[in-house]
Amino acid sequence: MRRSFMSVAIAMALTLATVAPALAGGTRSIRFDWSDHYTVAHSCGVIEDTTVTVRGTAFFDASGAWVRDLIVFGFDGVYTGPTGALANRTRQTSEFTPTTATLRGQGTFIHGGHIGALVYDVGRLVFDRSDGSTLFATPKVIRLDDPAAMEALDEALCGLLS
């Protein structure tokens, strides 16, 4: 999921650019939603096929300047490998401000058949939007500035399905 985070952030910026003209009428918040699909081929042969749905509200101050977004991300996907498949159903609540972003709740939650649930990323992560550095993280969160954690996630996924 973190791999797709930057593409989601870019799409959010485009969404904000399209709602700016609506502010001329004095609107202080604007709801938006969209969805996208992505496929990731992992080096071990596992294919990740995911649809992301986004529902959110952008908030603006009296002068029309953007203040924050409150967004619910839904990731529904399947990881398919040589030895089987796992489903991924993730819901995450997020808040984006001009300087920080906060991801709350459940991040990557992969489950499948007889192996039960595998939770890799759950809790609260606050990071600096300018450089992705972690400002606060609960113990079971995968940080955006920790490539080793993402590698460990990929290794676990590949270990189960390759």
83: pLDDT strictly greater than 50: yes
23: pLDDT strictly greater than 50: no
Q: Helical H runs in the chain?
A: 2-19, 147-161
- pLDDT at residue 5, as a whole number: 47
Q: What average pLDDT does range 21-25 have in this prediction?
A: 48
DSSP per residue over 130-162, as a string?
TT--EEEE-TTPPPTT-HHHHHHHHHHHHHHH-
pTM score: 0.73
The larger pLDDT score, comparing residue 150 to residue 125, is at 125
90-136 residue pLDDT tens: 889 999 999 999 999 766 666 555 555 565 677 899 999 999 999 99
25: pLDDT strictly greater than 80: no
- pLDDT at residue 94, as a whole number: 94
- pLDDT at residue 126, as a whole number: 95
Which residues lie below 8 Å from residue 86, measured CB to CB, with a gap of 6+? Answer: 78, 79, 110, 111, 112, 113, 115, 118, 157, 160, 161
CA distance 52 to 76: 6
pLDDT confidence of 26, banded at 50, 70, 90?
low
Across the chain, mean pLDDT equals: 80
DSSP 3-state of 104: strand
Q: Which two tokens stand for residue 88?
A: 């991924």
Q: What average pLDDT does range 72-77 have in this prediction?
A: 93
Q: Contact, 70 vs 56, CB < 8 A?
A: yes
Type of residue at 37: H
Report percent pLDDT > 90 for the chain: 43
Q: Contact, 90 vs 108, CB < 8 A?
A: yes
- pLDDT at residue 160, as a whole number: 80
Rounded to 5°, angle at Cα 31 from 33 and 124: 75
9: pLDDT strictly greater than 50: no
E strand segments, 61-131: 66-81, 84-96, 100-106, 109-111, 117-119, 122-128
